[in-house]
Chains A and B, each alone.
Chain A
């Protein structure tokens, strides 16, 4: 059980803001941390790992205090990263370039049996004597994951672990993460922008915005709600609205696909290129409508 209540002033590209996080995360789950860049997601992971200290607050994990700020009467506590024993997979992997794959794992812990087990689990057996410089992105990702698991951490933090990989590799590694989670029962926190990843892996989503938690919900609630009244619905962005004879056509990007949708004059007035929209259909007519106020803006994930 992780209980966080932390405050920290952050210096973002869009000016300073106060990060205020109050959240409890249970053991054993996979929690996604989503939100626009600069909203404090990585800082949150770094606070848990002990790499960045909050200005104030309390961080308690399984009844042990990892951080306590100066606010209370009791003395300040700030356990070092070494004392916390959190597994962390960095964005960009941070593999030791002078060590082989096996060397990277054994640096974490000289437990050879564990190293063999993880190499087998992540399909890295053949690459054990290769240095990170000669590995592909997906292979590096696996090494970083295996290395983080060498110390049998109870908490594993992953900072956009799959964002640099292609779709096929992503999907493969998502399966691998699920396998690792099933076999080792480690609590995972994943920073990710990828909605399919959140849906596939996670049982809970924390959406960060400007240093606070804007939404704390399940992936199902987050993605499926709002679309259930319609047969199908896709989120997209309007790229262009152009007049064709008497009608107007909106060009909408949905994922990697472009679609053209006919819109009427009234819709044309209320929509503009760059707007996030939901394209749905009732019966046979696709409709395009703007996001309602308060409806979550998926494009900001």
Chain B
């Protein structure tokens, strides 16, 4: 689906800077980068949610000396430049690395410069944004509630599903929404691992970069404004919900 929007510039031949970066020849508003961004963010969020709930549960209950090492390791994407992360993911995911080759065979897809590749990269990059809210939420649930549940004969899994998760709804919302929004907003890692292949890896943030590179400011404005409004709405949703939740609990 494409919506045509007149632009102020003529088509011109642009050099191909990189064989993996296809240069759009016909600038117009296109929903594809946004759909791609949302698909990537949705899948990343779903995968990370399923992965981080048990991981956060493990970490929240852990008193082992290994815990700080694990916490530091999974939080690294927050502080590392996306290029560092992107570079090593590129190395690891490439066909030449044993892991990349195995993953590629298993998923039946080339991982570098493909949607599957940026999906894996996004999961690594956004992991702490899902893990940290869940873990801190779980750590704030009073230990007495867990003990009460165990004493009532309920297993750890039942306790997690029926006592812990319902009691950390604000943290769940924060984790899900921030992970989604952060994935929509990522740029460096996707560019490094995925390049800019139309319909495959050219997500909204990369499309904007391309538009600016090709001096199509009109479309760049349009795309950017969409992301600004989206980000604001998402953050407003989180803060409004968590505020209301806090008020209803008398905090």
Q: Are A82 and B150 closer than 8 Å at their CB atoms?
A: yes
Check A82–B147 contact: CB distance below 8 A: no
Q: Does B144 contact A90, Cβ atoms closer than 8 Å?
A: yes
Q: Known: A107-B162, A133-B249. Is A94-B153 also a contact (CB below 8 A)?
A: no
Q: Which residues of A contact B163 (CB under 8 A)?
A: 96
Contacts of B152 in A (CB 8 A): 107-109, 147, 150-151
Cβ contact of B144, chosen from A85, A92, A150, cutoff 8 A: A92
CB <8 Å contact, A81 and B151: yes
Does B215 reach chain A (CB closer than 8 Å)? no
Closest to B153 in A: A82
Given contacts A90-B144, A92-B144, A98-B167, contact A82 B155 (CB under 8 A): yes
**How many residues in A have their beta carbons less than 8 Å from beta carbons of B?**
26
Query: Which B residues between 50 and 73 are near A, CB-CB below 8 angstroms?
Result: none
Query: How many contacting A-B pairs (Cβ < 8 A)?
Result: 56
Residues of B with C-beta under 8 A to A97: 167
A115 CB to closest chain B CB (Å) equals: 13
**In the complex, per-residue mask of B138-181: 1 if CB is within 8 Å of any chain A CB, else 0:** 00001011011111111100000011001100000000000000
B142–A94 touching, CB < 8 Å:
yes
Which B residues, 6 to 30, have Cβ-Cβ distances below 8 Å to chain A? none
**Interface size of B by Cβ–Cβ distance < 8 Å?**
18
| B28 CB, nearest partner CB in chain A, Å | 49
Q: A81 to B250: give the CA distance in the assembly, Å.
A: 33
Does A88 lie within 8 Å of B167, measured CB to CB? Answer: no
| Chain A contacts with B in 101-129, Cβ cutoff 8 A | 107-109
Distance A55 CA – B149 CA, assembled complex (angstroms): 24
A90, B148: Cβ atoms closer than 8 Å: yes
How far does the Cβ of B112 sit from chain A's closest Cβ, in whole Å? 45
In contact, B151 and A98 (Cβ under 8 angstroms): no
A224 to chain B, nearest CB (A): 36
Say whether A94 contacts B249, CB under 8 Å. Answer: no
B154 touches A82 (CB 8 A): yes
Determine whether the beta carbon of B148 is less than 8 Å from that of A98.
Answer: no
Q: Give the complex CA separation of A8 and B188 in angstroms.
A: 55
Shortest Cβ-Cβ A-B pairs, 9 listed = A94-B144, A94-B148, A81-B150, A108-B152, A98-B166, A88-B151, A81-B151, A82-B153, A51-B147
- 9 further interface pairs, Cβ-Cβ under 8 Å (given A51-B147, A94-B147): A50-B151, A51-B151, A80-B150, A81-B147, A81-B153, A82-B154, A88-B147, A96-B149, A98-B166
